[in-house]
Amino acid sequence: MSIQEMKSRIHQLVDQIDDEPTLEQLLNDANQYAADDLQPQASLNDLADTHRIRLEQAMRDHQEGKTISHEAMKQRHQGWLNKLNIIDTRSGPDKNPFAF
């Protein structure tokens, strides 16, 4: 199929779509593609299955409000580092490269 035939087929397919969100997504994708000097963007499909599954789960968790605050995460991180004896907690944040 030639480039012109492919373009024509794309136009035919788009003309058959009546779903506004789908058309908006196609338009956004086409604009993004054109803006990036015609370089395709990575998508979830480009990820390894394990990474894609974990990312999709993280997005679902976020949508469902299953999140923690930044402060809580800092405390967890500090706890993990302390358990691993990576940090001398007596040294203080100004001397500790892992402190937050």
Q: How far apart are CA 82 and CA 22, in angstroms?
A: 49
pLDDT band of residue 41 (cuts 50, 70, 90) is: low
Tell whether 55 and 77 lie within a shared domain.
Answer: no
- What CA–CA distance (Å, rounded) separates 96 from 93? 5
**Does the structure show a pLDDT above 80 at 31?**
yes
The token pair at 26 is: 């196609």
* Domains identified in the chain, total number: 2
> What residue has token string 């993004």?
32
Residue 88 lies in domain: 68-100
Beta carbons of 71 and 49 less than 8 angstroms apart: no
Q: Hey, what are 85's tokens?
A: 């004896």
**Contact present, 96 and 88 (Cβ < 8 Å):** yes
pTM of the shown model: 0.37
Residues 56 and 94 in one domain: no
> In the structure, what pLDDT confidence band is assigned to residue 12 with cuts at 50, 70 and 90?
very high
Query: Is 23 in the same domain as 52?
Result: yes
Q: What are 78's two structure tokens?
A: 């500090």
pLDDT per residue as tens digits for the range 59-87? 999 999 999 999 999 898 888 888 887 65
Run of H or E residues at 80: helix 70-83
